Amino acid sequence: MRGVHYRYPRADRNALQDVSLIVEPGQFYAVLGPNGSGKTTLVRIVLGGLRPQIGSAMIGDRPADQWSRQDLARLVGVVPQREDNLFPQRVRETVLLGRYPHLSLWGRERAEDHAAVDRALRACDVEHLADRWLWTLSGGEYQRVRVARALAQEPKLLVLDEPGMSLDLKHEMGLFELVRGLVETNGLGVLMITHDLNLAARFADSLLLLESGRAVAAGAPADVLTQQAVETVFSWPVTMQTIDGRPQMIPLRQPKESRA
Amino acid sequence: MKWTLLVIVAVLALVTSVILGPAAVPLGELLHSDIVWNLRVPRALLAFLVGGSLGVAGASLQALVRNPLADPFLLGLSGGAGLGAVVAIALHLSGPWALPLAAFAGALAALGLVYRLGLIGGTGGALDPRILLLGGVAIGAFAAAITTAIVSLADAAELRNAFLWLWGGLSGASWDSVLLVVLYIPIPLAVLLAASRPLDLLALGEESAGYLGADVEAVKRRVYLAASLLTAAAVAVSGVIGFVGLVVPHLARLTWGHRHRVLLPAAFLGGGALLAFADTLARTAVAPRELPVGVVTALIGVPVFALLLRRWTIA
């Protein structure tokens, strides 16, 4: 997407102000920023749910909002932040739902659909859970199953909205390793919204740092996550270290009297 | 196996419904009896088709409004249909089709109002299922109030007719009404069956359903209209028959799971069998008088529902 401006109806400022980003196949792109900085708006525009007033959002060679839902779902898999299940479901059933965009109106699932489900289950290391009920899974297992469902769509681009929220260390790291692996082995493009600056810096190829709808910095992790940028955007003092050649942020304590 | 059993139950319900009745017809004369051919067979078929329609409408609406308690009549149609029927009774409209047509018109009016409300609730022309549900309850209550006002001013015979109609009955069944229903229901049924995959996706929520490729707005409109038109036809020929559209989908879900491609046909057969069976009971239990079939479905449906709730809370 290029030079995108977006303002919600009846809002008094732009939710996004001249933001550009390009996600290529085989690239892991992470969008960072405090609450209300425009991350969700950005995802909606990328997925064609909102049409930018200025600038353009393209998927392939077509504007994002001109794809039919079904065609788009063959190209882009999404793991939304929240969803609920009205009726109890087993893992394999829910992953099979990912095949919907590939099915004809009356046709049944074909062998290739079940094969795609198996591949997705294996890629996310949840094969052994295939016959479990969703509500018996741990938070980390559930997130992997949701990634598997998006993979069953056989997309070129995977969009994840805060996938690590409320996961413990092992499961959060596991999820990021999984996504990184998919980028490297399947050549998948990934666009991830996340709060976790450190994990994004460790795993992503490119970062975009948003503040109040503006792109503060974009590019390689080492160029984006500077002490100054982080402190400005998040209004908190930090110190930076480097691990594996990637910047890592450590928040500092702040004396009581100087707090805002 | 499950299917074989269901088909056997359905056939059994139809056959019992033809064999049993207030008038004793010897088995040997079944095929030659006027009572059987002109009364029992069309009535059994009508009961089956109406029950099946209510089952499918209920299952689809539960997925649409994302509420397992949804019943085809919760969306205000029964109120509208009841008002139409009572107006027809109060005005002494005559002819075999006056009452069904008035009820159908009432149901359509309620459908239109609720649909309009649903559109107001959503933003940018989206249909909000929660508003559909609330609007349905409100419109239903409003129509019921007017109905009661009219009934309270009517004389005793009219009152009895209106009251019986409101609890449902298939005594008006004829080959004409069967033919009409046979011609009418395939279209909404096909629309709902065609929407079965998107309905599976809707169980995940509208956002996720959209990301998985469902055209959510189109699906919601189609399903609401088709299920409501199905219910409106059912209510026109048989009055308000509760619980079939609530209990049957749940029984079918317990047995067949939540995939609508399988669930909807099962709900059709199950609903048909239940209503054919309930109607047989309604005709024979207190013969030569007849119970409103809605009374029977409620008497069967409520205990079954209570059992279901228990199973749910345990699971």
Block residue for tokens 């107001």: B120
**Beta strand pairing status for A157-161 and A189-193?**
parallel
The mean pLDDT value for A81-103 works out to: 86
Reduced to 3 states (helix: H, G, I; strand: E, B; else coil), residue A229 is helix
The answer to whether the Cβ–Cβ distance between A78 and B203 falls below 8 Å is no
**Interval A106-131 mean pLDDT:** 87
Q: Which one has a higher pLDDT value, B129 or A252?
A: A252
pLDDT band at residue B72 using 50, 70 and 90 as cut-offs? confident
d(C-alpha B315, C-alpha B55), whole Å: 24
The ipTM (two decimal places) reads 0.84
Could you give the C-alpha distances from B195 to A22, A147, B32, B64, B66, in angstroms and in order?
Answer: 36, 25, 43, 11, 15
* A201-220 average pLDDT score: 90
Chain B interface includes A135 (CB < 8 A): no
Q: B221 and chain A: CB distance < 8 Å anywhere? A: no
Chain A residue with Cα closest to B212: A73
What are the structure tokens assigned to A81, written together?
A: 């932040």
The rounded percent of chain A whose pLDDT value lies above 90 is 29
| Structure tokens given for A184 | 């490297």
Q: What mean pLDDT do residues A191-216 have?
A: 90
Average pLDDT over residues B236-242: 87
| C-beta neighbour count of A188 within 10 angstroms | 23
Lowest mean pLDDT among A123-127, A187-191, B96-100, B112-116: B96-100
Angle (nearest 5°) at CA A186 between B201 and A209: 80
Q: Angle at Cα A175 formed by Cα A169 and Cα A177, nearest 5°?
A: 100
Is the predicted pLDDT of residue B160 greater than 60, yes or no? yes
Is residue B256 classed as helix, strand or coil in its secondary structure? helix
Task: Name the pLDDT band for A203 (thresholds 50, 70, 90).
Answer: very high
Q: What pLDDT is recorded for position A76?
A: 92
Decide: A77 and A95 in contact? Cβ < 8 Å.
Answer: no
By percentage, how much of chain A surpasses pLDDT 70? 93
- Give the mean pLDDT of A69-97: 87
Say if residue A142's pLDDT is above 60: yes
Q: Is the pLDDT of residue A235 over 80?
A: yes
pLDDT digits (tens, 9 = 90+) for B189-221: 999 999 999 999 988 888 889 999 889 989 999
Tokens representing A257?
A: 């009297």
Q: What is the pLDDT of residues B277-298, one digit of tens each?
A: 999 999 888 878 888 898 999 8
The alpha-carbon gap from A200 to the nearest alpha carbon of chain B, in Å, equals: 24
Q: What is the rounded distance in angstroms from the CA atom of residue A29 to the CA atom of residue A220? A: 10
Question: What secondary structure does DSSP assign to A82-134, as a single string?
Answer: ----SS--BHHHHHHGGGGGGS-SSPPPPHHHHHHHHHHHHHTT-GGGTTSBG
Distance, in Å, from the CA atom of A150 to the CA atom of A156, rounded to the nearest integer, reads 11
| Mean pLDDT, range B75-94, rounded to an integer | 85
- Contact state of A88 with B203 under an 8 Å Cβ cutoff: no
Lowest-pLDDT range, A163-167, A219-223, B118-122, B255-259? B118-122
Look-up: residue for tokens 């996310």?
Answer: A124
Domains and CATH numbers, chain B: 30-314 (1.10.3470.10)
Would you give the DSSP letter of residue A108? P
Q: Which of B116-125, B138-147, B194-203 has the lowest mean pLDDT?
A: B116-125
Give the pLDDT band (50/70/90) at residue B312. low
Share of chain B above pLDDT 90, in %: 32
CB contact under 8 A, B212 and A98: yes
A28-32 and A206-211 as β-strands: parallel, antiparallel, unpaired? parallel
Chain B residues within 8 A of A93 when measuring between CB atoms: 257-259
Residue with the larger pLDDT of the pair A3 and B264: B264
Closest Cβ opposite residue A100 in set B68, B203, B212: B212
CB contact under 8 A, B204 and A153: no
Q: Does B206 touch chain A (CB under 8 A)?
A: no
Considering only CB atoms, A78 lies closest to which of B201, B211, B259, namely: B211
List, in order of start, the domains of chain A with CATH numbers: 2-80+158-258 (3.40.50.300)
Q: Do A87 and B258 touch (CB under 8 A)?
A: yes
Chain B contact for A93 (CB, 8 A cutoff) = yes
Residue A172 has pLDDT above 80, yes or no: yes
**How far A37 CA sits from the closest chain B CA (Å)?**
21
Interface of B with A in 126-165 (CB under 8 A): none
Q: Where are the beta strands (DSSP E) in chain B?
A: none
Specify the pLDDT at position B219.
92
Of the two residues B104 and B78, the one the predictor is more confident about is: B104
pLDDT of residue A10: 63
Which range, A20-24, B1-5, B29-33, B186-190, is most confident? B186-190
Preceding peptide of B186 cis, ω within 30°: no
CA torsion angle A66 B193 B226 B136 (round to 10)? -90
A49, A83, A105 member nearest B208 (Cβ)? A83
* Per-residue pLDDT, A260: 54
Question: What is the pLDDT, as a whole number, of residue B277?
Answer: 93
| CA atoms of A86 and A96, how far apart (whole Å) | 17
Report whether pLDDT(A246) > 60.
yes
Give the strand pairing for A157-161 and A62-63. unpaired
